[in-house]
Amino acid sequence: MKLITIVGALPQFIKAAPFSDVFRKQHHEIMIHTGQHYDQNMSDIFFQELSIPKPDYYLGVGSGSHGLQTGFF
């Protein structure tokens, strides 16, 4: 089974950490990072510290206006 995990900010990183390892043992997990938090100290550090796999996709939404973020693509 394929599972998609979408993360973008600290609460999602913390929630994804314990599940990602379990998912990947029996299923194909696709990790998508919205890019809401893109700074090393607000994003990459949590992937490292919580042992979350690197995202398969990075959307790079950033911190623009609501319209820019939702209409980016």
Helix (H, G, I), strand (E, B) or coil at 26: helix
Q: Is 66:36 a contact under the CB 8 Å cutoff?
A: no
**Owning domain of residue 59:** 2-70
At 11-68, the pLDDT tens digits run: 888 899 998 888 889 999 999 988 877 666 677 888 888 888 889 998 877 766 666 6
Question: What CA–CA distance (Å, rounded) separates 18 from 23?
Answer: 9
* Count of domains for the chain: 1
